[in-house]
Amino acid sequence: MAEFKVAPPGASAGEKLLTWVDNRFPASKLYKEHMSEYYAPKNFNWWYIFGSLALLVLVIQIVTGIFLVMHYKPDASLAFASVEYIMRDVPWGWLIRYMHSTGASAFFIVVYLHMYRGLIYGSYRSPRELVWVFGCAIFLCLMAEAFMGYLLPWGQMSFWGAQVIVNLFAAVPFVGPDLALLIRGDFVVSDATLNRFFSFHVIAVPLILIGLVAAHIIALHEVGSNNPDGVEIKAKKDPKTGLPLDGIPFHPYYSVHDIFGVSLFLMAFSAVVFFMPEFGGYFLEFNNFIPADPFKTPPHIAPVWYFTPFYSMLRATTDVMINVLVGIIGLAGVVTFLKGNLPAKGRLAVLVGALVACALLKIFDAKFWGVVVMGGAVVLLFFLPWLDRSPAKSIRYRPSWNKALYAVFVVFFLVLGYLGIQPPSEMGTLVAQVGTLFYFGFFLLMPWWSQIGQCKPVPDRVTFKPH
């Protein structure tokens, strides 16, 4: 049994209360481990603010969601009217609803920027592989949460968007139709689907999401934060105190820094909520202000903007693209077999593998491979720590052409997002196919291109200019 602490003589009532709590719950210990005695690199820049902003938006979504659930009716005949009731009759209901809808888009903006920071500074590299894996699981969970929540207003775009996405699961060989039926709970999107999505959106997925966020933070604080230089601050410690020479306590230095960033974020967030909550139809589509009608299909069905890059990849996977891939893979296999530098058995194995890949591509239709591409684009992120072989973690010390490559990656991702919102066209499909190939090539070829070129010397300690 642990020894109880005793408050010093003359201690205030607050100190006595804290001592009483500490004897029963490690409040002070947790505060020291994760705040005042958690040493973070002293060269953090503004890229490192998005983690705390993501936590803030999660809290906003949970709190506003609780108030929305008080008045929302998860019934196909009442759902749309209950949302209108919240907007028109519930005191401040319009504000809560707009905070929740704007928060969904803000969540993805912050998370995308947070992930991109990890990408450019190598925050997924050893020893932070689990931090990255937990982060990708959060992203996947967030996508599921947003998709299920998107159906709840029961507007036209909610209904038909869910219909299209759920029908994609029917393309899975052998189990597809049964899988789609299991997800919907009916043969079409109906009241059963609404109830399932409501229960998952309100209870199941948020619990998983909170658990993953806790695991993400615990894993991060166990190995320590990365920094723009990609230098491990634990490698250089003060011999007397054992503290990192290039570290400073998270509180008060970065907690104050984050509060300032939160203030700026809340100003921008409030401006959107009060002056342009629909954001030109990107945050709240105009068709979603029309009640769901199973007998009237909108002229153009597209998901919300944060899903559109992956939706664009799905649409780009056509029969023509499959045939081109079959040709490329087959040609690569034949050339490797005839002129490769591998041993005879190795060349034969490559040829057989290429033929099997070509056969699989032709056996299953393009719709199935579109689903694989859309899902694979997210799953691929989990393997990033083992794909990157560069000697330098941070983009600061990699060859200069790496910056151009990352810039092209961002441009293609934004273009894919834009094309996913637009109606399909021949030129748009062609550009989306190029963007999809670049996206997968960026990651799948990373073990090769990340080792090309001469990296700049990485310093032993972080570079820091006091200000």
What would the pLDDT profile of 263-300 be if each residue is shown by its tens digit? Answer: 999 999 999 999 999 999 889 998 899 999 998 988 88
pLDDT digits (tens, 9 = 90+) for 113-138: 999 999 999 999 999 999 999 999 99
- Domains of the chain, first to last: 29-281 (1.20.810.10), 307-449 (1.20.810.10)
DSSP states of 301-337 = ----GGGHHHHHHHHH--HHHHHHHHHHHHHHHHHHH
pLDDT at 221 over 80: yes
Q: Is the pTM of this model over 0.75?
A: yes
Q: Which whole number is the average pLDDT over 98-121?
A: 97
Mean pLDDT along residues 424-453: 93
* pLDDT bucket at 168, cuts 50 / 70 / 90: confident
Q: Which of 221-235, 334-348, 349-363 has the lowest mean pLDDT?
A: 334-348
Task: Look at residue 2 in the predicted model and tell me its pLDDT.
Answer: 60
Count CB neighbours of 217 within 10 A.
15
The pLDDT tens digits of the residues spanning 365-408 come to 888 899 999 999 999 999 999 999 999 999 999 999 999 999 99
Q: Give the model confidence (pLDDT) of 311-349 as tens digits.
A: 999 999 999 889 888 888 888 888 887 876 778 788 888
Quick one: which of 387, 399, 396, 367 has its CA closest to 441? 387
Strand partners, 39: 249
Q: Is it the case that residue 467 has pLDDT exceeding 80?
A: no
Q: What pLDDT is attached to residue 1?
A: 54
Between residues 212 and 337, which one has the greater pLDDT?
A: 212
pLDDT tens digits along 145-162: 999 999 999 999 999 989
Q: Going along 57-100, which residue ranges are E strands? A: none
Which tokens sit at 122?
A: 């190598």
The residue among 59, 54, 149, 148 whose CA lies nearest residue 107 is 54
The pLDDT confidence band at residue 230, using thresholds 50, 70 and 90, is very high
Residue 3 has pLDDT above 90, yes or no: no
Which of the 8 DSSP states describes residue 155? B
Q: Across all residues in the chain, what is the average pLDDT?
A: 92
Residues 181, 187, 188, 194, CA torsion sign: negative
Residue type (1 letter), 16: K
- Give the pLDDT score at 300: 83
As a whole number, mean pLDDT of residues 340-368 equals 84
Query: Would you place residue 172 in the very low, low, confident or very high pLDDT band (cuts 50, 70, 90)?
Result: confident
